[in-house]
Structures are given as C-alpha cells and as structure tokens.
Amino acid sequence: MKTFEQYINGKFVKSTSTDVIEILNPCTEEVLSLMPIGSVKDAELALDAAKASQHAWKSLPAIERGNYLNKMADVIRDNRVFLAETLAAEQAKVMGLAQVEIDVTADYFDYYAGFARRIEGEIIQSDRSKEHIFLHKAPIGVAVGILPWNFPFFVMARKVAGSLITGNTCVINPSSIAPNTVMEFARLISKIGVPAGVLNYVCGKGSIVGNALSSSPITGIISLTGSVGAGQMVMEAASKNITKVSLELGGKAPAIVCADANLELAVNAVVTSRVTFSGQVCNCAERLYVEESIHDQFLDMVAKKMKSLKVEDAFSKNNPDMSALVSKAQLDKVSEMVEFAKKEGAEVVVGGTRTPGFDKGYFYQPTLLTNVTQNMQIIQEEVFGPVLPVMKFSTLDEAIALANDCEFGLTSSIFSENFNKVMHAAEELQYGETYINREHFEAIQGFHAGWKKSGIGGADGKHGMEEYLQTKVIYAQYR
C-alpha cells in the first residue's frame, strides 16, 4: 500500500497533519493508498513557495516555460500504461477510457506549450498626438487548481498548463477520492527539473486545504471543477480578497432527438454519452427529449442498446462499456434518486437497481426511465450515474423550452438532419456548448464553459489560457 506525501517547493514532505484518508478501489473495495488529509499549514507552505518562485518563472521567456510543458507530456507518454492502470484502479474507469484520459492529457500539455509564441497584446491608437497605448498581457501571480474525482488527471492539466505557460505558478489540490494518479505525476515530474515552487501538490479535504487556498491573499486565481456547493464555498472564500474564480460546476445536459434524425447515430451517441465512466461526466446527456412520432421506436432502440452493455471490473479484458461508480456515497445517491423517481411515477424500462452478480464494489445498472415529467427531481437535478430519463415533445420550440428549463447550462445536444432546425436550436439553447449529431464531449481547442449554475469562466483553447492573464495598459507619450 502506498502512502503519499505533499509535494511542496520541489520536495516531497510529510504533512503537518497526521490524519490520513484511505483511497479505495471502487470495484473491489480494497485499500490502495493512504492520502494525507492535509492542513492549513500545508496550504500556506505551498502558497509561500509558489509566491517566492513566481517572479523568476514569469521572467523566463514563454518558450522556455513551454519546454517544461513538453517535458511533462513526454513523461506522461513514457509512463502511459502505468498511469492508466493507476487511474483505473482508483476510480473504476475502464482501462480503455483511462488510457484515453492519460494520452489526451499528454496532448494537452503539448497543445498549451504551443501557445508560448501566441501570448499577445495590442497597440491602440491614442486621441493624443505622439502617444501610443500599449495593452500588455501579464500573469495574475499564483494560481490554485482544485480538482474533481471524475477526470482528475486531465482536469489537472487544464489547471496546470494554462497557468504555467502564462507565467503563473501553481498549487494543486487533488480530489480526496481519486488523488493517486495526480500524485504519481508529481513524483514523475519531480525529476525533470521544474524550478522549485513553480508547481506544488497539496492533498487534503476541500473544507480544509481547499478553503485555505481559496481564502489566502496570496492566491490570484482559483480554478475549481466540482459541484455547485463546492463552487459556492470557493466563491465565498475568494470574496474575502476579491480573488478571481473560474468554476466548472456540472450540468444536467439535455439531448433533443427530432423525427428526421439519423436514429441509429442518435442512439449510439446518446447511450455512449450517458454511460461513459458510468455516467459520471459533467457534460454528458442527463435527460432525453424525443419527438412524439418516433418516441416508442426510439425508446425501444435505446433499451436494446442499454441491455447489450457490458458492466464489469475496470481491468476486464472484455472491453466493458462501464464499471463501478466511484464510491459508496455515489452509489447510494444514484440508487436513492431512481427510487424517488419511481415513487413519483417513473417507469423503469431497463435497469433500476444495483448490478447483480457483484459481491463487492459500487456497481449500478444502466437505467432507462420513462413516464417522467419536467418537474421531477430526476429531470431537474444532476444524477451523475448511468440513468437516462426520457420525455416526449411535439414541436422543436417545446423541446427547446423544456431543455432550457433548468438551473444548469453546461452542455446540450440536438439530433436532426434539417440544417434550419439544428441552427435554430443551437441559437436558442441556453448552454455554453451545443453538440449537433454527435456525443457530448468537448475538444481541447474549444472553450469548455458553462452558463447559469454550471459555472463562471472556462477552460481549453485560447480563451482558457486567457483566464490566467490580466491586462496592463501603458500610455506612452514621446517628443
């Protein structure tokens, strides 16, 4: 069993707290590692190290900072199988998907390294004679990244790459549920010469470590991926120092299927979206609206697809479609929400219970629900499990209105072969992202950002990098 230490100022050090958390394998419930709970003092030491190293780091030419990101990508590729196995073990992510997460993370570091020569300002014409107005882009200072448990490795890169390439230093707070892969990465990059203090990893609970990082006057920006509740706590802590926040807080993504859609494509995209990582993905389809003329046919197609899915151990050689949920708490939440939906009148078409045949582990069946209404909890609140409720609609505008009737606004999708319909929906859907005739999953060169309670700010692409920059204006007169 591994025991992790904090990575602060270029060294692994024992936490000032002696308390630890057991990290479990969700498929077997065996203990994989011990993680320090961490303390306020640990957070303060990491912030002090980041602050002390930031001036020298920002003074490096951006291309040199980018070279360190390229080295991180190389380290990931050199250890890609080991990292994927670590990820699969700590969160029951099937090996195929775990390997994708590791490989895309390497690509992400290379992608952001490429921005080294594209951090640009402006020269603006002045109203005065013999004056230029220069807009410079400058790093904010010390960036804090608070990670989720569902895609901890990739989201770690989202926090690290954008902050480092722009000249910020960084403190990362891994998830208390799935910290192992991130901390193994810290061990690997400790050997590639990143200057001490530039990148720090402090394990611990959000209520302790996360709060200390968020409320510190040293912190210049906090980027959190997590729940609405976590986002609210970060905003409250950040308000003490008017610290900038960038938040991605989950969603309740609608998928609209019109009668003129390619139904086979829509079935595959919706089901894949719903059961990827056992439904524990913020941007994947959480509710389905189907045009009434094809409702029964489409429901039968989705049911058949769901019944064919393989649910096995994450390391199964059978290439399963999904595995266990990440924790007992998550299993209990999903079970309770489905049971409550049934009490409200929902009908179970597929699944609806824990997966039979497993003595241990947090397995829940792919579940399809019908006879649901718009005001039900299962339609309005994020399930974060392999559960798909289905409703009918008669007109596209009705479907759009139902889709927008939600406090979240992260992602959405529409399936139709009619160009006018899809463009009308894309214009009217109140979501940061809309997918047309494809599964819910973003690209690294886009901008992953939510509306409403799904967040503030965003990540990925040029706009994600700019989250870590502030504008400095210089008025230069000359004779």
d(CA 263, CA 308): 17
Name residue 409's beta-bridge partners.
451
Element (H, E) at 452: strand 451-452
Residue 423's SS3 state is helix
Radius of gyration from C-alpha coordinates of the chain: 23
DSSP character at residue 177: S
d(CA 283, CA 454): 10
Distance of CA 352 to the CA centre of its chain: 27
- The residues near 108 (Cβ < 8 Å, ≥ 6 apart) are 73, 154, 157, 158, 161, 444
What is the CA angle 93-95-96, rounded to 5? 105
Residue 6's SS3 state is strand
442 is catalytic: no
d(CA 349, CA 346): 9
Helix %, strand %, coil % of the chain (to 5): 40, 25, 35
d(CA 273, CA 286): 9
Q: Judging by DSSP bridges, how do beta strands 131-139 and 469-477 pair with one another?
A: antiparallel
- Is there a contact between 297 and 362 (Cβ–Cβ < 8 Å)? no
First-to-last C-alpha distance (Å) of the chain: 70
- The residues near 291 (Cβ < 8 Å, ≥ 6 apart) are 257, 258, 259, 392, 393, 394, 399
Residue 225's SS3 state is strand
- Is there a contact between 138 and 167 (Cβ–Cβ < 8 Å)? yes
In single-letter form, the type of residue at position 174 comes to P
- Is there a contact between 153 and 41 (Cβ–Cβ < 8 Å)? no
Strand ranges for 268-417 from DSSP E: 285-291, 347-350, 367-370, 387-393, 408-409, 411-415
What is the CA angle 68-70-73, rounded to 5? 115
DSSP character at residue 373: -
Catalytic site residue from 90, 184, 248, 466: 248
- Is there a contact between 309 and 366 (Cβ–Cβ < 8 Å)? yes
d(CA 194, CA 170): 12
Q: Which residues are catalytic?
A: 248
